[in-house]
Amino acid sequence: MHPAPSALRRAVAAATIALLATAVGCAPQPDDKASGGSSSSAGTTCAKGKLATKTSGKLTIATDEPAYEPWFKDDKPANGEGFESAVAYAVAKQLGYDKSAVVWQRVPFNKAFAPGVKTFDFDINQVSISTERKKAVDFSSGYYDVRQAVIALKGGKAAKATSIADLKGLKLGAQVGTTSLNYISDVVKPSQEAAAYSKNDQAVSALRNGQVDAIVTDLPTAFYVTAAQVTNAKIVGQFENQGGTPEQFGLVLDKGSDLTSCVTSAVDALRKDGTLAKLDKQWLSDAVDAPVLK
């Protein structure tokens, strides 16, 4: 026996409502947080010393090996000396982790911001924040505003350069995967291909040995290179920021990490209370000026 048309319509409507209710219950619900933001339990998400870290009760921080000065001292990130080591511990303290609760890892520079799950809670290694890198990882807010600089041997071809045009016919080098290398290809646009090195020390050695006319690094590193590593070298000049926005170093986290908003808040607090400026003055005070190449 077939149901009457009206009864059939009522049955179909009831079934449809039931199906919709089931679908809503099973469908992905709107996320209360942006990538790396705080969840709805924001009051406890950033509870000091109780974050959802890789190891409960510990904060795992990564950097490259070797860890260069003036960012670190004596290649020992755990000693708290050097700008980035000091910043790392300041962020840890802000998050509720004392020095004994910090665990250091060594992670190659390029691997830190490559796609994939990370073994650290955050990485600190002069990694510039960029739109391209944000596709693979999260960043905190910037903890240091940086410019790129050109280093050349005194008396060499590049030593007298006063403009970007003066660099175009030279052999330039930088560490692979860095904004330093990007400045060579995108800003200088030299007539010969730039030399790319897996480590900055290799770029420095190439400069020392005359294999390149000049290398590009961030400005504080350039001051260290000329003061301690290649004393017969000089800083030729620094580049202007591109696009009117300062280049900034940020802490690197897993893409979509629940820690991102907490770490960003910690960095923001350190900037607001003057801690970052104090550490800048303490560890990077020599890296204050160089001619601007236009």
Tens place of pLDDT per residue across the chain (294 aa): 444 433 333 333 343 333 333 333 333 333 333 333 333 333 448 999 999 999 999 999 999 999 999 999 999 999 999 999 999 999 999 999 999 999 999 999 999 999 999 999 999 999 999 999 999 999 999 999 999 999 999 999 999 999 999 999 999 999 999 999 999 999 999 999 999 999 999 999 999 999 999 999 999 999 999 999 999 999 999 999 887 788 999 999 999 999 999 999 999 999 999 999 999 999 997 655 788 999
pTM over 0.85: no
- Using CA atoms, how far apart are residues 286 and 226, in angstroms rounded to an integer? 12
- Using CA atoms, how far apart are residues 182 and 225, in angstroms rounded to an integer? 20
Nearest CA to 67 out of 89, 91, 85 is that of 85
| Predicted pLDDT at 245 | 81
Quote the strand ranges of 110-246, DSSP E. 122-123, 137-146, 148-153, 172-175, 195-197, 214-218, 233-239
DSSP structure class, residue 108: -
To the nearest 10°, the Cα dihedral for 267, 108, 192, 152? Answer: 70
| Predicted pLDDT at 213 | 98
| Predicted pLDDT at 288 | 59
3-state helix, strand, coil in the chain (%, to 5): 40, 20, 45
| Predicted pLDDT at 23 | 33
| Predicted pLDDT at 26 | 31
| Predicted pLDDT at 102 | 98
